[in-house]
Structure 1
Amino acid sequence: MIQRIQTIYLLLAAIISSGLIFIFNLWIKVDGTVFFAKDAFSTDSLLLKLIPILFIGSAILSLVAIFLFKNRQLQFVLGRLNILTNLILLGLLIYQSLNLSGETLVSKKGIGLILPIIAIILLVMANKAIKKDEDLVKSVDRLR
């Protein structure tokens, strides 16, 4: 059923991964320009172009997992895959933020760098709720 608590967690993770990346900046460059995730497509670096792709991929995985409520095992696996995607994204963001030009002079990181952490926390809570539902169904099947 769609009205379960893990649906709310997955929906919030999808909103964070897809919508908030256009609102919150990732970092501010030395020349004062603000860098959003969508700005990565205009760069030459392949690693920077991977950032918005991973954000959107994470949002798609969350939305797909919402509608797989009848198959809890697959929903759980997609949640773990989404956590792994966000961990890779977090590592990539940390690597890029530490290699910014002028890092020793100025260090202005945006709130967009913690969005994968929030998504990971929400996905862990969703997987915990999915596991709880699965255990409940297995206990009821045992009583039959």
Structure 2
Amino acid sequence: MIQRIQSIYLLVAGIISGGLTLLVNLWSTSNANLPVFILDLFSSNSLLEKSIPVLFFSSALISIVAIFLFNNRQLQFVINRLNILINLFLLGILIYLSQTLSGEASVSEKGIGMFFPVIVILLLFLANRAIKKDEDLVKSVDRLR
């Protein structure tokens, strides 16, 4: 059933990864204090910076696809774990880039977009917990038959 709580968790994770990242800046550059948005990273020279939007959008796509796998809870659980790994990798890249941003000697400003992978990981963890609870409920009912 699509109206379960894990579907809401997955939908919010998809909205944060795919939609909200387009509206919020990741960091501000040290020269002229210009905000850097996720789509600005496609025009970057670094392959590491180009991978950030790809990872955000793939995380959003995987979250939305996992909503519609409600018939196969085990596959939904595995796909959510894969999505958690993608977000952990994305978090590592963002932490690395935040430490090596130019102008770190002066005051630099990190945006709220840097914390989105942490929020998405938390939502995916809650979704996996709810999926596990459903799976345990189904197994307990099968034992009674």
TM tier, smaller: over 0.9
Aligned equivalents of 1:140 and 1:108: distance in 2?
Answer: 53
Q: Deviations over 1:69-122 (max 9, x none)?
A: 000000000000000000000000010111100111112000000001000000
Q: CA deviation at 1:39?
A: 0.6
- Residue 68 of structure 1 aligns to a residue whose secondary structure is coil
Identity between Structure 1 and Structure 2 (%): 65
Q: Secondary structure of 1:19's match?
A: helix
Equivalent AA in structure 1 for residue 58 of structure 2: G
Instruction: State how many pairs are aligned.
Output: 144
1:75 alignment partner in structure 2: 76
Opposite residue 130 of structure 1, the aligned amino acid is I
The answer for the alignment partner of 1:115 in structure 2 is: 116
Q: Which amino acid aligns with 1:52?
A: P
Match of 2:52 in 1: 51
What do residues 39-76 of structure 1 show as CA deviations (whole Å, max 9, x unaligned)?
A: 11001100000000000000011011000000000000
RMSD: 0.5
| Secondary structure of the structure 1 residue equivalent to 2:109 | coil
What TM-score, normalized to structure 1?
Answer: 0.99
1:2 matched to 2:2? The reply is: yes
Q: Equivalents in 2 of 1:37, 1:77: separation in Å? A: 27
Gaps of 5+ in 2: none
Shift of 1:37: 1.1
Structure 1 equivalent of residue 89 of structure 2 = 88
SS at match of 2:25: coil
1:24 Cα offset (Å): 0.9
1:13 counterpart = 2:49: no
